[in-house]
Chain A
Amino acid sequence: MKTVLYLVQKEFLQIFRNRFLLPILFIMPFVQLILLSYAANFEIKHLKIHVINQDFSPVSYQLINKIQGSTYFDLSSASLDVSSGYRVMEKDEADLVLRIPPNFEKHLRKDNQTALQLLINAINGTQAGLANAYLNAIINDFNQQLRMESIPSPAGSPLAVVNVEYRNWFNPLLDYKFNIVPGILVTLVTMIGVFLTGLNIVREKEIGTIEQLNVTTMKKHHFILGKLIPFWIIALIDIFIGLSVALFWFEVPFVGSFWLMMLFINLYMIAVLGLGMFISTISHTQQQAMFVSFFLIIIFMLMSGLFTPIENMPYWAQWITRINPIAYAVEFMRMVMLRGSGLPEVAHLIGAVTVFAIASNTLAVWNYRKTAQ
């Protein structure tokens, strides 16, 4: 084991002498964390709506006022004819076009039914869906209001209305940052870990020092441990700084157990660093290692459930996420930090990263050859 200490010492000397590496390790992740957490905003507000009011009735103005009154929509422009409404949409100056046809109020009063026309810019499908849902909610609400006004209720007995009372658990104010910051943090630390270990052993291959190590009596697992430990320590420091940013800058709540999280994070770091080292042992140049790491990181990141829920993915894609360490980490961080889940609820996640950690490091040791074939 003394061999491992000499390897760790040498690795730290090299890391701290590398002027290029230090900012990558200790500054870049936090710039990214802050930048991405503000930028990756999924709330849809201030959608531009263009209104074509061909009715000019009091009811039509009431409806427009109600739409304007919500924070989701801004009345950006208005016109009288449909073709100018189309033009606004084509120029991407509006996200929605709402047409209130002539005799809107008249039909409503006389026939008890009427129609509105809604055009939605669906280039961004998610946004279009949400815009539709929001606007429908507003119009339904408006509908109900009208009905209550028009149907005279029998004296003393108000119209029966079902009111749904709801509460957002674990994130009462629906702050998207609570959801995204812990996930971005683990993703960034994963990237740092995989890239650095991925490039590290290959670098020794490229400069030739690996041969000098291979003729020594050093054991293969000592070598892998000697590479793992320094980056493990650095990743933990990154996690601590990142968590401080999450808790004190973004004020993300931390409801769960700190020690449970440390247990998971440590196992998780061993798992992803092992993956980086495995990549390093199968690559011959830093370029190859870089491309393989990129390939995996992009898939892992976009399929982690950080940006789109895993439940919405096709069945085969959900299967792939089962070998995706980032998916486990994102889920774990959200469960423990926001929900305060305890060991029984997250035991399966801890089990999964443990298996991953054993597998990736075993593969790395097994695939590292001191004698070339």
Chain B
Amino acid sequence: MNHEVAIRAEGLTRKFGAFTAVDHISFSVEKGEIFGFLGANGAGKTTAIKMLCGLLQPSGGKASVGGFDIFRQTGQLRRNIGYMSQRFSLYEDLSPYENLRFYGGIYGLPRREIKPKAEAVLKKLGLWEEKDQLVSALPLGWKQKLAFSVASFHEPAIVFLDEPTSGVDPVTRRQFWHMIYEAAHQGTTIFITTHYMEEAEYCKRVSIMVSGRIQALDTPGKLKEQYQVSSMDEVFLKLTR
């Protein structure tokens, strides 16, 4: 494994009026790593992700994603990232195929490449039979798998996933993580937030955010050792209580 840095944040801060949502967080994520970004609801995870994706202007600090500054190089940054937001972000009144084609087109993929590529994705997802149904008719788990495929359709170097598996059944969640591992294996850096602590165990390293600050950052194994507990659940409870 090489040690190129995919994401680096130094003192990244975001304030909303008097409230500091993200308070001087610093960390770095290696290329090809699966990085778990944990924290209770309202800890500032989504705000941090939005800043790293160029969706929200930081109030202070520095950060670079894929080597591009999040303040000044948002154009190049966007070409290199994929983002799956916490809110469901596919077009429900389009079919899975139309969603893939649309985002492929928006990212400027050549027209002749879009069709075979979208078809390959749909077959792999097991959505081939449903490719012309409207997305609104699909079960949540399938929608989430499709959303991940849409976010990575243009083959970004880094993919941000904001609670991609919440509300998804355990079987589909396992399939979802299978997709994540596959992407990471191909060199994609994965930055993921989750509330399921067994999922945290799947990450190479995790950070735990409490009230806008990163309170712990290490591999799941080392964190458990450090807090002398047997599961990530207990680590999380110890830190956030």
* Chain A contact residues, CB within 8 Å of chain B: 2-3, 5-7, 9-10, 13-14, 17-18, 207-209, 211-218, 370-373
Contact B106 A215 (CB under 8 A): no
The answer to whether B89 touches A212, judged by C-beta atoms less than 8 angstroms apart, is yes
Is the beta-carbon distance between B106 and A17 smaller than 8 angstroms?
no
Contacts of B81 in A (CB 8 A): 215
A226 nearest CB neighbor, chain B only: B106
CB distance from B158 to the nearest CB of A (A): 11
Q: Report the minimum CB–CB distance from A6 to chain B (whole Å).
A: 3
A212 with B105, Cβ < 8 A, contacts A10-B94, A18-B93 known? no
Choice from A5, A14, A211 contacting B55 with Cβ under 8 Å: A211
Q: Which of B62-110 contact A (CB under 8 A)?
A: 74-75, 78-79, 81-83, 85, 87-94, 98, 101-103, 105-108
Asked if B90 contacts A216 (CB within 8 A), the reply is no
Given the interface pairs A212-B83, A372-B55, the reply to whether A10 lies near B102 with Cβ below 8 Å is yes
Whether the Cβ atoms of B93 and A6 lie closer than 8 Å is: no
A sample of 12 inter-chain contacts (CB < 8 A) reads A3-B108, A208-B85, A209-B89, A209-B90, A211-B85, A212-B83, A212-B150, A214-B55, A217-B106, A218-B106, A371-B57, A372-B50
Q: Assess whether A5 is in contact with B105, with CB atoms less than 8 Å apart.
A: yes
Q: How far is the CA of A10 from the CA of B101 in the complex (A)?
A: 9
> Within the assembled complex, what's the spacing in Å between the Cα atoms of A92 and B55?
65
A10 and B55 form a contact (CB under 8 A)? no
Q: Does B54 count as interface, using CB distance less than 8 angstroms?
A: yes
Number of A-B contacts (CB under 8 A): 82
Q: Which residues of B (16-35) have their CB < 8 Å from a CB of A?
A: none
Q: In the complex the two chains form, is A13's CB within 8 Å of B98's CB? A: yes
- Give the residue of A7, A14, A211, A373 whose beta carbon is less than 8 angstroms from that of B106: A7
Closest B residue to A216 by beta carbon equals B106
- Which of A5, A6, A372 lies at the interface centre, i.e. has the most chain B CB atoms within 10 A of its CB? A6
Contact A14 B57 (CB under 8 A): no
A3 touches B105 (CB 8 A): yes
Q: Are B98 and A208 in contact (CB under 8 A)?
A: no
CB distance from A123 to the nearest CB of B (A): 51
B122 within 8 Å of A (CB atoms): no
Q: Which residues in A have their C-beta under 8 angstroms from that of B111?
A: 2
Q: How far is the CA of A3 from the CA of B107 in the complex (A)?
A: 8
Closest to A222 in B: B106
Q: Are A6 and B55 in contact (CB under 8 A)?
A: no
Q: What CA separation (Å) do A213 and B103 show in the bound complex?
A: 8
State which of B87, B98, B105 has its C-beta within 8 Å of the C-beta of A211. Answer: B87
- Whether B91 contacts A217 by the Cβ 8 Å rule is no
Q: Could you tell me how many residues of chain B have their Cβ less than 8 Å away from some Cβ of chain A? A: 34
Q: Please determine whether B56 and A371 come into contact, CB atoms closer than 8 angstroms.
A: yes
Docked complex Cα distance between A2 and B50 (Å): 27
Chain B residues with CB under 8 A of A216: 78, 103, 106-107
A371 touches B54 (CB 8 A): yes
Q: Is the beta-carbon distance between B89 and A14 smaller than 8 angstroms?
A: no
For residue B6, CB closer than 8 A to chain A, the reply is: no
Q: How far is the CA of A212 from the CA of B148 in the complex (A)?
A: 12
Do residues A215 and B53 form an inter-chain contact, with CB atoms below 8 A? yes
Give the chain A neighbours of B91 by CB distance below 8 A.
10, 14, 209
Q: Which residue in chain B gives the minimum CB-CB distance to A373? A: B57
Nearest chain A CB to B15's CB is how many angstroms away? 12
Instruction: Give Cα A216 to B84, complex, Å.
Output: 12
The reply to whether B74 and A371 contact each other, CB–CB distance below 8 Å, is: yes
Residue of B nearest to A372 (CB): B56
B85 nearest CB neighbor, chain A only: A211
B106 touches A3 (CB 8 A): yes
Point out the residues of chain A lying under 8 angstroms from B87, CB to CB: 207-208, 211
Chain A residue with the shortest CB-CB distance to B75: A217
Q: Which residues of B contact A2 (CB under 8 A)?
A: 105, 108, 111
Residue of A nearest to B156 (CB): A215
In the complex the two chains form, what is the Cα distance from A3 to B101 in whole Å?
A: 11
Whether the Cβ atoms of B93 and A17 lie closer than 8 Å is yes
Since A207-B87, A212-B90, A373-B57 are in contact, a sample of 4 more A-B pairs with Cβ atoms closer than 8 Å, ordered by chain A residue number, is: A10-B98, A212-B83, A212-B151, A216-B103
Q: In the complex, what residues of A have CB within 8 A of residue B107's CB? A: 216-217
Say how far A217's CB is from chain B's closest CB, in angstroms: 5
Q: How far in angstroms is the closest Cβ of chain B from A12? A: 11
Residues of A within 8 A of B74 (CB): 370-371
Q: Which residue of A lies closest to B99 (CB)?
A: A10
Asked if A14 contacts B105 (CB within 8 A), the reply is: no
- In the complex, the answer to whether B106 meets A6 with C-beta atoms within 8 Å is yes
**Nearest-Cβ distance from residue A373 to partner chain B, whole angstroms:** 5
Report the nearest B residue to A208, measured CB to CB. B87
Contacts of B90 in A (CB 8 A): 209, 212
- Which A residues are CB-close (under 8 A) to B75? 217
| Minimum Cβ distance to chain A for residue B76 (Å) | 9
Is B79 within 8 A of A6, CB to CB?
A: no
Q: How far is the CA of A373 from the CA of B83 in the complex (A)?
A: 19
Whether the pair A217, B78 counts as a contact (CB closer than 8 A) is yes
Minimum C-beta distance from A108 to chain B (A):
80
